[in-house]
């Protein structure tokens, strides 16, 4: 098991590439490597799983999973009272690709939030939802 904290920080491009190649070779040999970095390209090249930590563990997933979950293609809804019954309605609406609960909000992955959000809100309100 290897722990690395910002291993390429401060290195010239050649040294950074050499170190990245070494990390890849170690990974291919089955070593577990914990790596901290703020460079998304580095994480994408080296990591199978990525954790987001902000004083506590926020999420662990692949880069694709995290991108889908935390990209700007999401619309969050908070409801007065329980919102579980509105999840079924949202799941049937055009453009909604995924739904999940996060910190008390129903978060919808939407193909085009700018165009779809008004229709989603309209459908919810028409059905009786009270949105905060």
Alpha helices in 33-112, H assignment, sequence order: 40-46, 63-70, 84-91
- Plot region of 70 (φ>0 → left; ψ -120 to 50 → alpha; else → beta): alpha
What distances in angstroms separate CA 79 from CA 52, 105, 123, one per listed residue? Answer: 27, 8, 14
pLDDT of residue 71: 64
101-117 residue pLDDT tens? 988 889 988 888 888 89
What is the β-pairing status of strands 50-53 and 57-61? antiparallel
pLDDT of residue 125: 94
Predicted confidence (pLDDT) at residue 81 exceeds the cutoff of 90: no
Alpha helices in 29-112, H assignment, sequence order: 40-46, 63-70, 84-91
Predicted confidence (pLDDT) at residue 69 exceeds the cutoff of 80: no
- pLDDT, mean over the chain: 88
Q: What is the largest CA-CA distance in the chain?
A: 60
């Amino acid at each position: 098991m290897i722990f690395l904290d910002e291993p390429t920080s401060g290195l010239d491009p050649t040294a950074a590439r050499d170190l990245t190649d070494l990390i890849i070779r170690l990974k291919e040999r089955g070593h577990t490597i914990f790596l901290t970095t703020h460079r998304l390209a580095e994480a994408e090249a080296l990591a199978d799983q990525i954790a987001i930590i902000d004083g506590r563990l926020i999420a662990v997933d692949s880069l694709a999973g995290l991108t889908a979950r935390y990209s700007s293609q999401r619309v969050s809804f908070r409801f007065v009272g329980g919102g579980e019954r509105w999840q079924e309605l949202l799941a049937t609406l055009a453009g909604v690709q995924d739904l999940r609960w996060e910190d008390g909000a129903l978060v919808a992955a939407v193909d085009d939030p700018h165009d779809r959000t008004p229709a989603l809100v309209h459908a919810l309100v028409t059905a009786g939802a009270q949105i905060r």
